[in-house]
């Protein structure tokens, strides 16, 4: 049962969120929280002075197990092997990445 593949469903239609800013991984015990940000211009300086000043706004936090963090690392290493071009993959997904 431990290796049984579970079907993924999305009954809540979870939205995709743009997170093009910095991110952080915080460890606590056997869990990790990945915090993702997006750089957003501050409203007042932008609209009143025409100046762009950014805040890194937290857009998502994902809490997961140590094993899933290692699986994510391994998946990224398979998708982007050392020494190869860093061009973005063309469409699709990582395939068998359920852990």
Q: Is residue 46 part of a domain?
A: yes
**Per-residue model confidence (pLDDT) at position 93:** 56
What are the CA-CA distances from residue 46 to residues 7, 39, 41, 52, 74 (Å)? 46, 14, 7, 5, 41
Q: Is residue 16 part of a domain?
A: no
Q: Is residue 52 part of a domain?
A: yes
Domain hosting residue 68, numbered range: 23-79
Q: Is residue 42 part of a domain?
A: yes
Q: Is residue 66 part of a domain?
A: yes
Tens of pLDDT, residue by residue, the chain (99 residues): 567 889 999 999 999 999 999 999 999 988 999 999 999 999 999 999 999 999 999 999 999 999 999 999 999 999 988 887 766 656 555 554 444
- Domains contained in the chain, number: 1
């Amino acid at each position: 049962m431990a290796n049984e593949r579970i079907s993924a469903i999305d009954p809540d239609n979870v939205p995709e969120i743009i997170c093009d800013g910095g991110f952080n991984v915080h460890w606590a015990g056997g869990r990790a929280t990945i915090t993702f940000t997006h750089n957003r211009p501050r409203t007042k300086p932008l609209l009143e002075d025409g100046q762009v000043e950014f805040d890194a706004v937290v857009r998502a936090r994902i809490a997961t197990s140590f094993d899933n963090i290692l699986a994510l690392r391994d998946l990224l290493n398979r998708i982007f092997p050392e020494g190869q071009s860093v061009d973005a993959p063309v469409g699709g997904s990582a395939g068998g990445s359920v852990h």
